[in-house]
C-alpha cells in the first residue's frame, strides 16, 4: 500500500526489485569472520565449542573418545572462562583400544575438573599449582587408568586446558591440535609422536612418503605403552580471532590444511563445521575413526 | 614379562651359593602362542648355555611348568648401569664409561662371531648391563637375543630410544647392536635418557655440549656408532673397540698436559673502549639516552657520561646510595635513591627539576608509562607519580618493602614485594590479583605474550597469566634469585644465586641450556642480536650465544658484578663493585 500512497503524494519510489539487491543484505558470518562477533561486544568473554565423531568407513567399531567442557561465570570481575577439551584415539590393533581411550579421557577430566571445582565455586580462590604441573599430573593419572583398565592397550591423548587467553596443551601420540586463525593461517601446534613424523623431521622421507608409509601407524609415545612417559606440555595464547581444533588422525590424515580451514570458515556454527569436517573425511575414504573438537574464544 | 628372583642353591647346603632365577609368566590365551613362548624361552636357555664369556652370566638350569618358565643363572652382584646413571650425582667419568664400553664391544664381538649364526643382542641398553663390584660389565637379559640369519626379516621389537632406525623396519644386524651401544654410552655420559627424547635424535644432543668434560675423541667414536645409516657406523664391534682404545690412549696423553686450555677470548684479549671511575661501588644499571650514558653509584651520585668517550658531562648528588637504573622521558632523567626520594633531573644541565618523597629507601627503578612514573619503595608502597604535576596519582600499599621494578603492560602494573607477594595493580591503583611466593620477590618482572615472568628467593621461577594471575608453570632453580628475567625469541633468561644463567623455553618451561659462572648471578641478562650479556659475582661479564649458551667471551673486572648490563649500538655498558663503569665492544 505504501508505494500507492507515495505515488499519490507524487513521491518517486525506487522499483521494489532494487530492494532485493544483495548489497542491503547483512554480510554472512563467514565474510565477517570473528570480527562480527567482536563488533557485537559479547560479554562476558566465553568459550564455545562444537564436536563431531564418526566411526569412519573402514572400521567396525569406534576407538576414539572425545570430551568437551566449557564454563562461563558472568558477573564477577576477573572470572576467566575455563574450558577443557580432549581427544583420545585408542590404538588400532590393540585389544580394548576403546577402553583405553575412554579410561584416559575420564581419568584426565576427573582429575582436572576436581582441581578446578574450588575455582568454579569461588573464582577468587587462589590456585597455587602451576597449570603445566596439573596437566602433567592429569596425564600421569590417565596413564595409570589406561594401564589398569586395559593392560597392553594404548591410546593417544591431546588435551587443551583453556583459562582466559592462555591454553595449556598436553599431548601424547599422533592426535593433533591446530590453531586456525582468521587471517587464514593454519598451524599444527602438536608434534606427532610417530615414527614417520620423526623420519620426516630427519629429512629421511618426504611428507608425501610419510602419508603412505607402511609404518605410519607406529607411535613412539602413547599412553599405556612403555615404562617411561614424557608428554609434550606447553602453554600458548588461544588463537583469537580464530579457532582451536583437536582431532584424531582419522581427520588430519585425509584432509589437507586448506580444506580444514575452508570448511571451518564456511560453516555457520561450530557444530556444523565439525560435521562438514567429518563428512569430508568420510568422503575421502574414512580410513579410521574420526573425531573433531572445535573451540572459539569470543568476547 | 616376568620377574627375577634372588635365590639360594640348596644343592650346596653348607655354603651360600646365590643364583638368579628369571621367571617368565606365560599369559598368552592361545595354546599355540603359549607353546611358542615356551619354545622361545627354551631357545634362549640353549643359546646361553653354549656361550662362555666373562661378560655373560653362566646358566645352571632351566625348567617350565604351570604356565611359568624359569632360568637359573649366576647371580650377578652389583647394579645395572641405568641405576648407576640415575644414582650418580654428576656425570660418570670418561675413564669409567670408556672401560665399560670397551668390554661391551668385546662381548658384542664375541656374540657377533658366534657360529653357526651370529647372535644379535638386539636389546643393548643400560638396564641390561650389570656392573659388578670390580667394575666389570655383565650382559643380562637375553630375552630377545636370537640367532641371526642374514636377510631374515624379524618382527619389530627392541627398546625405544636405543634402537637404530633399521630395527624399526625389522632389520637388525650386528650394526644395530653397535648403534644401541653408542646410545648406551651416550646416555651414560650425558645423563640424557633417550627414551625421553624423540627417536634418532642423538645428533641434536652433542655429548660435549651437555657434558664438556667428554673428550672430542670419545665423542667422535660415539657419533660414528650412532650414525643413522648402518654403513656409516663402525663395520664391527671389533673396529669400534679399536677406536675406543685409540681414543683412550690419545686422551690419556692429553690428560697429563691439558691444563688451562681455553678456546674463547680471554679477558686479556678484550680492551674496554673506555672506563669511568666512580667514588664507590656501582650496583645499579646504566641507561643510554641521547648520546649519553647515565649511571648511579653507591657514592650517592648520578653520573652523566659521554657515550663515545666516557667523559663526564655532569654529576648530580643525592643524599643516599643509588642502586637503581635511571629512566628518561622528554629531556628528564628519573632516578631513585636511598635518600627516600625520586629525583627528576634535566638531562642537559644536570639540575634538579623536581623530587618526590617516599617514606623509605628507593631500591626499585622507575618505570615510565602512560604519563606516569611507577616505582616501589621500602615504605611498602608502589607509587604512581604523574609526570606533569610531579604528584602522586596513587600509592598502592603492600605488605613489605617493594624493591622490584614495576612492569607496565595490559593496563596493569606488576611488581614483587619483599614478603613474597606479587601484585598486579590496575591504573587506578586497585589490586587486580596477587600471587604469593614463599620468599621475597626482589626480581623485577617482565611480560611477553600475556605471560608475566619473575623469580623469588625461594628458588622458584614463575610464569603467570598476566590477566588473571594463574600460575602457568614454575621452574626450579638451584637457589633463589634477586635477578630479573629477560624474554627474547621464545626463551626466558634468568640468573640465579646457584651461579647459573638459565635459558628456559617460554612455552614448555623446559631448560634449553644453562651456563655455570663461578659465583652468584644477581645481574639481569640482556639479549642483543644473537648474544646474551650478563654479569656475575665472580667479577666477570659474560657474552654467551643466546641460542646455545656457548661462551663467546668474558671480561674480568676487579670485584663482583651485581648490576645489569646495557647494550646499545654494539656497545655493552656495565658497572662493577670495583667502582668502574665499563664500555666494551659487544
pLDDT in tens, B506-534: 999 999 888 999 999 999 999 998 899 99
Q: Give the mutation candidate from A163, A195, A203 for the B interface (greatest B CB count, under 10 A).
A: A195
Among A210-224, B68-82, B381-395, whose mean pLDDT is lowest?
A210-224
Do residue B507 and residue A78 have CB atoms under 8 angstroms apart? no
Given a cut of 80, is residue B399 above it in pLDDT?
A: yes
Got the DSSP string for B446-514? EEETTEEEEE-TTSEEEEEETTT--EEEEEE-SS------EEETTEEEEE-TTSEEEEEETTT--EEEE
Where do the domains of chain A lie?
33-298
Q: Which residues of B touch A193 (CB under 8 A)?
A: 198
| Mean pLDDT of all residues in B54-78 | 85
Neighbours of B191 (CB within 10 A): 15
- When CB atoms are compared, the residue of B196, B435, B449 closest to A237 is B449
% of chain B exceeding 90 in pLDDT: 60
| Mean pLDDT of all residues in B22-36 | 74
Residue-level pLDDT at A35: 46
Q: Which residues of A touch B194 (CB under 8 A)?
A: none
Q: Are A189 and A177 in contact (CB under 8 A)?
A: yes
More confident position, B124 or B27: B124
Q: What is the pLDDT of residues A9-64, one digit of tens each?
A: 555 544 433 333 333 333 444 444 444 444 567 788 899 999 999 999 988 889 99
Q: What is the pLDDT of residues B230-271, one digit of tens each?
A: 999 999 999 999 999 888 888 762 333 222 223 334 445 678
DSSP state of B32: H
Residues 140-169 of B with CB under 8 A from A: 156, 160, 165, 168-169
Q: What is the pLDDT of residues B311-327, one digit of tens each?
A: 999 999 999 999 999 99
R_g over Cα of chain B: 32
| Closest Cα in chain B, distance from residue A175 (Å) | 16
Length of chain B (residues): 586
Low-confidence ranges of chain A (pLDDT < 50): 1, 13-38
Do residue A235 and residue B507 have CB atoms under 8 angstroms apart? yes
| Mean pLDDT of all residues in B77-93 | 89
Q: Which CATH superfamily is domain B80-257 in?
A: Transferase(Phosphotransferase) domain 1 (1.10.510.10)
Q: Are B81 and B108 in contact (CB under 8 A)?
A: no
**For domain B4-74, which CATH number applies: 3.40.50.10860, 1.10.3720.10, 3.30.200.20, 3.40.50.150?**
3.30.200.20
Its CATH architecture, for the domain B267-585, is: 7 Propeller (2.130)
Residues 122-141 of A with CB under 8 A from B: 126-133
Q: What is the pLDDT of residues B410-454, one digit of tens each?
A: 899 999 999 999 999 999 999 999 999 999 999 999 999 999 999
DSSP state of B212: T
Note the CATH number of domain A33-298.
3.60.40.10
Residue-level pLDDT at B89: 80
Residue-level pLDDT at A181: 94
Residue (of B517, B497, B504, B389) closest to B451 by Cα position: B504
Q: What is the pLDDT of residues A204-220, one digit of tens each?
A: 778 888 877 777 777 88
Do residue B508 and residue A126 have CB atoms under 8 angstroms apart? no
Q: Using CA atoms, how far apart are residues B461 and B454, in angstroms rounded to an integer?
A: 6
The answer to ipTM > 0.85 is no
Residue (of B448, B451, B457, B453) closest to B403 by Cα position: B457
Q: Residues near B165 by Cβ (< 8 Å), separated by ≥ 6? A: A199, A204, B199, B200, B228
In B431-448, which positions are buried (b, 16+ CB within 10 angstroms) versus exposed (e)? Answer: ebbebebeebbbbbbbbb
Amino acid at each position: 500500500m505504501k508505494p500507492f500512497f507515495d505515488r499519490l503524494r507524487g513521491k518517486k519510489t525506487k522499483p521494489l526489485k532494487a530492494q532485493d539487491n544483495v548489497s542491503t543484505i547483512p554480510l554472512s558470518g563467514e565474510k565477517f569472520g570473528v570480527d562480527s562477533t567482536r563488533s557485537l561486544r559479547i560479554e562476558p568473554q566465553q568459550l564455545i565449542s562444537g564436536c563431531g565423531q564418526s566411526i569412519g568407513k573402514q572400521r567396525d567399531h569406534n576407538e576414539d573418545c572425545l570430551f568437551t567442557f566449557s564454563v562461563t561465570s558472568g558477573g564477577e570481575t576477573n572470572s576467566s572462562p575455563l574450558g577443557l577439551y580432549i581427544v583420545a584415539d585408542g590404538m588400532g590393533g590393540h585389544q580394548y583400544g576403546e577402553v583405553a581411550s575412554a579410561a584416559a579421557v575420564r581419568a584426565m577430566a576427573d582429575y582436572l575438573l576436581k582441581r578446578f571445582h574450588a575455582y568454579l565455586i569461588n573464582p577468587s580462590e587462589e590456585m597455587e599449582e602451576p597449570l603445566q604441573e596439573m596437566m602433567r599430573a592429569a596425564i600421569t593419572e590417565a596413564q595409570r587408568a589406561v594401564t589398569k583398565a586395559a593392560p597392553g592397550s594404548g591410546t593417544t591423548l591431546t588435551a587443551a586446558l583453556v583459562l582466559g587467553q592462555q591454553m595449556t596443551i598436553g599431548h601424547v601420540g599422533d592426535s593433533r591440535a591446530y590453531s586456525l586463525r582468521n587471517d587464514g593461517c593454519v598451524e599444527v601446534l602438536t608434534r606427532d609422536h610417530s615414527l614417520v613424523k620423526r623420519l620426516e623431521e630427519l629429512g629421511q622421507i618426504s611428507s608425501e612418503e610419510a602419508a603412505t608409509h607402511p609404518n605410519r601407524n607406529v607411535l613412539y609415545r602413547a599412553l599405556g605403552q612403555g615404562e617411561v612417559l614424557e608428554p609434550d606440555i606447553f602453554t600458548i595464547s588461544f588463537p583469537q580471532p580464530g579457532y582451536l581444533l583437536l582431532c584424531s588422525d582419522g581427520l588430519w590424515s585425509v584432509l589437507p590444511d586448506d580444506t580444514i580451514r575452508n570448511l571451518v570458515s564456511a560453516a555457520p556454527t561450530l557444530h556444523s563445521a565439525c560435521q562438514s569436517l567429518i563428512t569430508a573425511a568420510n568422503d575421502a575414504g574414512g580410513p579410521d575413526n574420526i573425531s573433531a573438537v572445535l573451540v572459539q574464544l569470543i568476547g | 614379562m616376568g620377574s627375577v628372583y634372588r635365590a639360594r642353591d640348596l644343592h650346596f647346603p653348607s655354603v651360600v651359593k646365590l643364583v638368579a632365577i628369571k621367571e617368565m609368566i606365560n599369559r598368552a590365551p592361545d595354546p599355540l602362542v603359549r607353546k611358542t613362548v615356551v619354545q622361545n624361552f627354551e631357545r634362549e636357555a640353549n643359546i646361553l648355555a653354549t656361550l662362555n664369556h666373562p661378560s655373560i652370566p653362566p646358566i645352571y638350569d632351566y625348567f617350565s611348568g604351570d604356565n611359568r618358565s624359569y632360568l637359573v643363572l649366576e647371580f650377578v652382584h652389583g647394579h645395572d648401569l641405568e641405576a648407576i646413571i640415575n644414582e650418580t650425582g654428576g656425570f660418570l667419568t670418561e675413564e669409567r664409561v670408556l672401560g665399560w664400553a670397551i668390554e661391551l664391544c668385546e662381548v658384542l664381538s664375541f656374540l657377533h662371531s658366534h657360529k653357526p649364526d651370529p647372535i644379535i643382542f638386539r636389546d643393548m641398553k643400560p638396564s641390561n648391563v650389570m656392573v659388578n663390584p670390580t667394575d666389570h660389565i655383565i650382559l643380562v637379559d637375553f630375552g630377545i637375543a636370537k640367532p641371526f640369519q642374514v636377510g631374515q626379516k624379524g618382527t619389530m621389537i627392541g627398546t625405544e630410544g636405543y634402537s637404530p632406525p633399521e630395527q624399526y623396519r625389522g632389520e637388525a644386524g650386528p650394526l644395530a647392536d653397535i648403534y644401541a651401544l653408542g646410545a648406551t654410552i651416550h646416555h651414560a655420559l650425558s645423563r640424557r635418557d633417550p627414551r625421553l627424547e624423540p627417536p634418532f635424535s642423538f645428533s641434536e644432543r652433542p655429548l660435549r655440549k651437555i657434558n664438556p668434560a667428554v673428550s672430542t675423541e670419545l665423542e667422535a667414536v660415539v657419533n660414528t656408532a650412532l650414525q643413522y645409516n648402518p654403513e656409516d657406523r663402525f663395520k664391527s664391534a671389533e673396529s669400534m673397540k679399536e677406536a675406543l682404545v685409540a681414543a683412550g690412549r690419545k686422551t690419556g696423553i692429553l690428560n697429563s698436559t691439558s691444563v688451562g686450555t681455553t678456546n674463547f677470548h680471554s679477558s686479556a684479549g678484550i680492551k674496554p673502549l673506555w672506563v669511568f671511575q666512580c667514588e664507590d661501588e656501582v650496583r645499579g644499571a646504566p641507561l643510554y639516552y641521547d648520546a649519553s650514558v647515565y649511571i648511579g653509584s653507591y657514592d650517592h651520585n648520578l653520573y652523566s657520561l659521554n657515550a663515545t668517550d666516557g667523559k663526564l658531562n655532569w654529576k648530580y648528588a643525592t643524599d643516599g646510595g643509588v642502586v637503581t637504573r635511571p629512566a628518561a622521558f622528554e629531556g628528564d632523567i628519573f632516578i631513585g635513591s636511598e635518600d627516600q626520594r625520586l629525583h627528576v633531573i634535566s638531562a642537559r644541565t644536570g639540575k634538579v627539576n623536581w623530587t618526590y618523597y617516599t617514606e623509605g629507601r628507593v631500591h626499585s627503578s622507575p618505570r615510565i608509562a602512560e604519563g606516569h612514573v611507577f616505582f616501589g619503595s621500602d615504605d611498602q608502597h608502589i607509587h604512581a607519580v604523574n609526570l606533569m604535576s610531579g604528584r602522586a596519582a596513587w600509592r598502592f600499599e603492600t605488605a613489605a618493602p617493594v624493591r622490584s621494578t614495576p612492569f607496565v603492560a595490559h593496563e596493569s602494573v606488576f611488581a614483587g614485594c619483599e614478603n613474597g607477594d606479587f601484585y598486579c595493580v590496575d591504573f587506578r591503583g586497585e589490586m587486580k590479583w596477587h600471587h604469593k611466593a614463599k620468599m621475597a620477590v626482589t626480581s623485577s618482572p617482565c611480560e611477553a605474550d600475556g605471560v608475566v615472568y619473575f623469580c623469588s628467593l625461594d628458588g622458584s621461577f614463575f610464569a603467570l597469566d598476566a590477566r588473571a594471575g594463574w600460575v602457568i608453570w614454575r621452574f626450579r632453580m638451584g637457589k633463589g634469585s634477586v635477578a630479573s628475567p629477560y624474554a627474547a625469541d621464545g626463551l626466558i633468561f634468568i640468573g640465579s644465586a646457584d651461579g647459573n644463567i638459565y635459558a628456559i623455553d617460554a612455552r614448555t618451561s623446559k631448560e634449553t641450556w644453562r651456563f655455570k659462572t663461578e659465583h652468584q648471578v644477581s645481574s639481569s641478562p640482556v639479549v642483543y642480536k644473537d648474544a646474551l650479556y650478563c654479569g656475575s659475582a665472580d667479577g666477570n661479564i659474560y657474552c654467551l650465544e643466546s641460542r646455545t649458551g656457548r661462551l663467546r667471551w668474558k671480561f674480568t673486572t676487579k670485584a663482583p658484578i651485581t648490576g645489569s648490563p646495557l647494550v646499545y649500538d654494539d656497545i655493552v655498558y656495565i658497572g662493577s663493585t670495583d667502582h668502574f663503569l665499563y664500555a666494551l665492544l659487544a
